[in-house]
Amino acid sequence: MNQQHGQRPLIELRQVQRSFKQGRTVVPVLQEINLDVYPNEVICLVGESGCGKTTSGKIIAGLLSPSAGDVLYEGQKLDRLNGRERAAARRALQIVHQDPFASLNPTHTIEQILSYPLKRHRMVTDNASLRRRIWELLTMVDLTPPGDIVNKYPHQLSGGQRQRVSIARALTVQPRLIVADEAVSMVDVSIRISLLKMMQALRQQLNMAIVFVTHDLALAKYFAWEGRIAVMYLGRIVEIGRTPDIINNPAHPYTRALIAAIPEPDPDVARQKAHMPLRSEDIPRLTEMPPGCAFHPRCPFFIPGLCDVQVPPLAAAPGFGQQVACLPLNQGEGLRVVQ
Amino acid sequence: MIGLQTVATPVGLLIGIVCGFVPLIIGIRQKQYVPALLGWVACALSGFACGWLGGLPMIVLATSVVISYSHTVKSDPFLSREALENIDFTETTAERIVRQMAALGRTIRGAMRALLRNKAGFLGFIGMMFFFLMTVFGPTLIPYDGQAHFYDRLLPGAQTLFRPPSWEFPLGLDYQGRDILSHIVHGGQKIIITAFQAGVMTSIVAVALGSLAALLGGWIDRGLVAIANFILTIPQFPLLVVLAAIIEIDNRFFLALLLAALDWPGLMRAVRAQVLSLRERDYVQAAISLDLGLWHIITREVLPNMISYIVISTIFSVRAAMYSLVALVVLGFVPLSEPDWGLMIFLGNQQGSLFSRDALMMVLAPVMAIALFQLSLVMFTRSLEEVFNPRLRAGL
Amino acid sequence: MTDNNVVLSVRDVSITYLVQRGRLKAVSDVSFDLHRGETLALIGESACGKSTLNLGLMRLLPRTAKIEKGQMLYSGRDAKTIDILKLNSGQLRRFRWKECAMVFQAALNSLNPVIRIQDMVYDTARAHGEKDMRRVRARILDLFQMVRLDPERVFKAYPHELSGGMRQRVLIALSVLLDPQVLLLDEPTTALDILTQRVIIDILKDLRRELGLSIIFISHDLAIAAELADTVATMYAGNIVEIGPVEDVFYRPRHAYSYGLLQAVPRLSSEANDLSSIPGKPPDLVAPPTGCKFHERCAFAVEHCKQEIPLLMPMGERAHLAACFESDRVHAASQREVTTQEKSEVQ
């Protein structure tokens, strides 16, 4: 898929589908997702609510299993692994949740929260090394001095500090990949950047991959400038490629609309920015998916007879460095606004 | 709860006093005189009430509280600000035990503060303690008064010997001329203990089955819920009456078991719902992801967050069990033995105390005792959420 | 009030909450003017007092809150000036919705699921003394058109039949039903998708133009302020620390906190990636630090900042005020930033 890495992917999603039952109706949340995550890379899953980015993140982290398709860990199917290998794989894949107020058990102190996984997986030999390790972990996530933190309960920490504890907890089992599910969206604006910088530093230091799930393209651009972005819409990846390619030269009409719509914290830019009018402002329901390309009812470049018939595959497009799922682009026809 | 069928004995008091020396000596050595003395009193009282069963645990609790006052952190690397390499993380077993006891003591003190803060809850706690102390220590202070006191010798042919309250007998005399106060003091013990046994058994069954149903799912879940629903549809009290009539219940523990067997389904469904919602919490998901195991998830992640709910439910089960017990006795469906609050109502009713003003206390006193005890329980539950939740405990 | 053009004038308002540990000073000594047709953005992070201030303007504070002092002078269409804090409950009911309306943050859940939109519209109108339901209907259909909804369909719909963005638009239309002068918006776009956000922003621009509304909106999102606001006020720990025209605050910030916030937000349009967070966390408002409340986190702080409380002072010739002793150094730093950016763009 992505030639530059030249190594075996850590995690591969192969034709992954996932649906949830809602009463009697089956809601397809993910369809035919193919995604490779390489060791030590950073990849952002970007999209609006209901696009399936969180579900993909949970499948990558091993918290959900796909309804169809395969998840491969280091080239081996996850459901074929024996118990011990599976436990090892599960530990290698960690997740940091969105809500810092719900992700830590309110009845445990920070010391307890960090010591459970360390003790359970015998990462430490005795009590002294346990406490040394806790101290180390807290220092790694910039919670210093650790002595002020260990005996506190989660409610005594700020949102940003709790997110740091969540990351430290994930680090206890020395993971190879962390899924950060909107990990900074509930943290105050003024401290988001320091969290992101810390995660980047840890990624390089500990040789981890990070799958960053977010709805904020500007944040994705900042965090994954060296890595890749996958844009998702209604359960499919519509565009994937290196971050600079996607931000500077977006291909898929949906990505273009997103980039044009993002409000900028700059009054002059905001006033001059050209917005892309869509044909419809309403997102179709997952239970009533339009035929063909899911974006065609809203797409200003819609070609009748093509876009509403065939589901576009994720493929290269002439003139773009990234892969995109848009038939007119894939066929090299370019996009023309329909009247 | 089964082992608690003791009344205060001199041996128990001795045990308690001996146990109390542990926190007392530790406290005096650390110059924490007030906590030391309070710890000694607490040990003495609980030893007095329950013997070894009360004295030994109280040593740990009281000593922890005493230690927590003076536990300095000078040797605690967790609070030093030095560079990581310079810190000595080793500690002896004794040091570790002391540190953990200090943490326990701080938690107990926090819980006590939370208890004091909520006025209604504290009033309930006082009321509950009053009834406990009365049923445990009361019998040693106020002897059981089974003999008749005759006052109306001048009235030959008097049918009953009812008397209204007086200085000598604060709650008056019953139809046989016996002291009602002593009956109240002696008659609560069995009923309270049986009600607690029933409540605790209800909770154990409900929590165990509810957690299992929620965490295992599938046909186990469906089966348990179906059984619970079936029992819930049976009108419980009539069934109890029928059962009591068929089976000769001469064992109080068996009666508690019967009450629990009918009471668990409601709580079980509530526990199941709670566990189902807790299971989806992010921190449980994180525990799954960290591969901490099912046992850890139940005991460390799910149960601690339900503990206040479980205790409150237990107390409400106790309440329900007590009403059922009294009702069974009042209706005369279980073998009767004096003294007993329910039996007092039964006899008062039979002996026509409703028709004589002098006899009012014969029925009113046990009714008031039951009502006040129930009220204390319910008020006490109001502070429990604050006691068990660390965030509320800190008063935020 | 001397200036005829001012519709709402807030003077020295302080609001405290009674909490277990004491008094939490959520808003302290806040003053600002809202001109007719102006859009004012109150920008700040969680617990900076912006929501409390907004609720205070509508007198919708919870019972534990107390407005300690100050005035909120509102100048109605009849040119009479009233103090919102002195209204009785009857006057308040007339004031709310007819003079000043509010759209709440958790707006998506604030529609009753068992009531049709039309019944909600009629109920609202009736509750505020409107009698002519035909007029109400015509008006709301107009408004639905204006917020780009299919009027007939939405009017008859139940809330669950509408998407989140549509519900937000219904609420915005409903809030201007009785033609208020002032509209208060609490985080109008938070929790909405980007494309929906764009629609809401455009709708608010339309509404402001066509109805001549004066708008106060509060947000933690600088981008929304840049898009919508004429005037931006930055709030920190209960104070307005900087207020001024949007270009001044964004391009020539004079308060270290505003500057820090602007430095902390990633942008899509510029290559500059040297962002940085503000260290530390907001102060405890029960026992706030002495001097400038921001000094503990401030890179520009000097000894003086720890002792004296800075007041809002005029900066430059326009209505740009900042409460910072080191505003010149902040200004210099922000300008250096701009020049290096321009240089890199030239290269």
Closest Cβ opposite residue B96 in set A111, A127, A147? A127
Task: Inspect the interface and report whether the beta carbons of A169 and B286 lie closer than 8 Å.
Answer: yes
Chain A residue numbers with beta carbons less than 8 Å from the beta carbon of C261 are: 189-190
CA distance C24 to chain B (A): 12
CA distance B61 to chain C (A): 28
Task: Inspect the interface and report whether the beta carbons of C46 and A161 lie closer than 8 Å.
Answer: no
Place of tokens 């008056």: B172
For the cut 50, the answer to whether the pLDDT of residue B98 exceeds it is yes
Confirm or reject contact between A247 and chain C (CB < 8 A). Answer: yes
Average pLDDT, chain B: 82
CA distance A146 to chain B (A): 7
CA distance A16 to chain C (A): 25
Contacts of B350 (CB under 8 A, 6+ apart): none
Task: Inspect the interface and report whether the beta carbons of B283 and A93 lie closer than 8 Å.
Answer: no
| pLDDT for the residue numbered B156 | 53
Task: Inspect the interface and report whether the beta carbons of B77 and A150 lie closer than 8 Å.
Answer: no
Place of tokens 């409950």: C89
For B222-258, what is each residue's pLDDT tens digit?
A: 999 999 999 889 888 888 888 877 777 667 788 888 8
Q: Which of C169, C183, C171, C245 is nearest to C212 (CA)?
A: C183
Nearest residue on chain A to C148, alpha-carbon basis: A281
Task: Inspect the interface and report whether the beta carbons of A222 and C266 lie closer than 8 Å.
Answer: yes
Chain C residue numbers with beta carbons less than 8 Å from the beta carbon of B395 are: 20-21
Task: Inspect the interface and report whether the beta carbons of B77 and A62 lie closer than 8 Å.
Answer: no
Task: Inspect the interface and report whether the beta carbons of B282 and A102 lie closer than 8 Å.
Answer: yes
Rounded Cα distance, C182 and C76, in Å = 10
Tokens describing residue B257: 């078991």
Closest Cβ opposite residue C46 in set A188, A247, A278? A188
Chain B residue numbers with beta carbons less than 8 Å from the beta carbon of C21 are: 395
Band (pLDDT 50/70/90 cuts) for residue A162 is: very high
Confirm or reject contact between C21 and chain B (CB < 8 A). Answer: yes
Residue from B78, B90, B92, B281 to probe the interface with A (highest A Cβ count within 10 Å): B78
For B151-202, what is each residue's pLDDT tens digit?
A: 555 455 555 566 777 777 777 777 777 778 888 888 888 888 889 889 999 9
> Subunits touching B (CB < 8 Å, at least 3 pairs)?
A, C
Rounded Cα distance, C272 and B159, in Å = 103
For A248-285, what is each residue's pLDDT tens digit?
A: 999 999 999 999 988 888 888 888 887 888 888 778 88
Closest Cβ opposite residue B81 in set A147, A155, A166? A147
Residue from A143, A161, A189 to probe the interface with C (highest C Cβ count within 10 Å): A189
| pLDDT for the residue numbered B11 | 82
Chain B residue numbers with beta carbons less than 8 Å from the beta carbon of C18 are: none
For the cut 50, the answer to whether the pLDDT of residue B5 exceeds it is no
Cis check: omega of the bond before A244, within 30 degrees of 0? no
Task: Inspect the interface and report whether the beta carbons of A270 and C223 lie closer than 8 Å.
Answer: yes
For A12-38, what is each residue's pLDDT tens digit?
A: 999 999 999 887 888 899 999 999 999
For the cut 50, the answer to whether the pLDDT of residue A176 exceeds it is yes
Task: Inspect the interface and report whether the beta carbons of B286 and A103 lie closer than 8 Å.
Answer: yes
Which residues, in sequence order, are bridge partners of residue A95?
A179
For the cut 60, the answer to whether the pLDDT of residue B2 exceeds it is no
Q: How many CA atoms lie within 13 A of B213 on its CB side?
A: 24
Q: Which of A328-332, B278-282, C231-235 is the most confident on average?
A: C231-235
For the cut 50, the answer to whether the pLDDT of residue A1 exceeds it is no
pLDDT less than 50: residues of chain C: 1, 343, 345-347
Strands (E), chain C: 6-19, 22-35, 39-43, 65-75, 81-83, 100-103, 182-186, 214-219, 231-236, 239-245, 313-314, 321-322
Confirm or reject contact between A300 and chain C (CB < 8 A). Answer: no
| pLDDT for the residue numbered C13 | 93
pTM of the predicted protein model: 0.85
Confirm or reject contact between C339 and chain B (CB < 8 A). Answer: no
CA distance C286 to chain B (A): 12
Q: Residue A174: phi, psi to the nearest 5?
A: 50, 65
Q: What is the number of H-type helices and E-type strands within chain C?
A: 12, 12
Instruction: Determine the angle formed by the axes of helices B360-388 and B180-216, rounding to 10 degrees.
Output: 40
CA-based torsion, B63, B69, B75, B80: positive or negative? positive
Task: Inspect the interface and report whether the beta carbons of A120 and B293 lie closer than 8 Å.
Answer: yes
Place of tokens 């500057």: C259
| Count of pairs with CB atoms under 8 A, one residue in A, one in C | 124
Chain B residue numbers with beta carbons less than 8 Å from the beta carbon of A102 are: 281-283
Q: How many CA atoms lie within 13 A of C343 on its CB side?
A: 6
| pLDDT for the residue numbered C1 | 44
Please state the rounded mean pLDDT for residues A154-171. Answer: 92
Task: Inspect the interface and report whether the beta carbons of A106 and B296 lie closer than 8 Å.
Answer: no
Nearest residue on chain A to B307, alpha-carbon basis: A107
Residue from A63, A78, A104, A105 to probe the interface with B (highest B Cβ count within 10 Å): A105
Question: Could you give the ipTM of this predicted complex?
Answer: 0.86
Residue from A131, A144, A182 to probe the interface with B (highest B Cβ count within 10 Å): A131
For chain B, the C-alpha Rg in angstroms (whole number) is 25
Chain C residue numbers with beta carbons less than 8 Å from the beta carbon of A194 are: 276-277, 279
Closest Cβ opposite residue A281 in set C148, C226, C247? C148
> Subunits touching A (CB < 8 Å, at least 3 pairs)?
B, C
Which residues, in sequence order, are bridge partners of residue C245?
C231
Closest Cβ opposite residue C273 in set A191, A222, A257? A222
Chain C residue numbers with beta carbons less than 8 Å from the beta carbon of A258 are: 194-195
Closest Cβ opposite residue C281 in set A160, A192, A219? A160
Nearest residue on chain B to A94, alpha-carbon basis: B289
CA distance C127 to chain A (A): 32
Nearest residue on chain C to A195, alpha-carbon basis: C277
Task: Inspect the interface and report whether the beta carbons of A262 and C222 lie closer than 8 Å.
Answer: no
Closest Cβ opposite residue B281 in set A102, A131, A148? A102
| pLDDT for the residue numbered C3 | 61
Chain B residue numbers with beta carbons less than 8 Å from the beta carbon of A99 are: 282
For B34-93, what is each residue's pLDDT tens digit?
A: 888 998 898 988 888 777 888 888 888 888 888 888 776 555 666 666 677 777 777 778
CA-based torsion, A38, A39, A41, A47: positive or negative? positive
Chain B residue numbers with beta carbons less than 8 Å from the beta carbon of A142 are: none
Task: Inspect the interface and report whether the beta carbons of A63 and B103 lie closer than 8 Å.
Answer: no
CA-based torsion, B148, B151, B155, B161: positive or negative? negative
Chain B residue numbers with beta carbons less than 8 Å from the beta carbon of A93 are: 289
Chain C residue numbers with beta carbons less than 8 Å from the beta carbon of B396 are: 20
Which residues, in sequence order, are bridge partners of residue C65?
C17
Chain A residue numbers with beta carbons less than 8 Å from the beta carbon of C166 are: 282
Which residues, in sequence order, are bridge partners of residue C216?
C40, C184
Contacts of A301 (CB under 8 A, 6+ apart): A253, A328, A335, A336, A337, A338
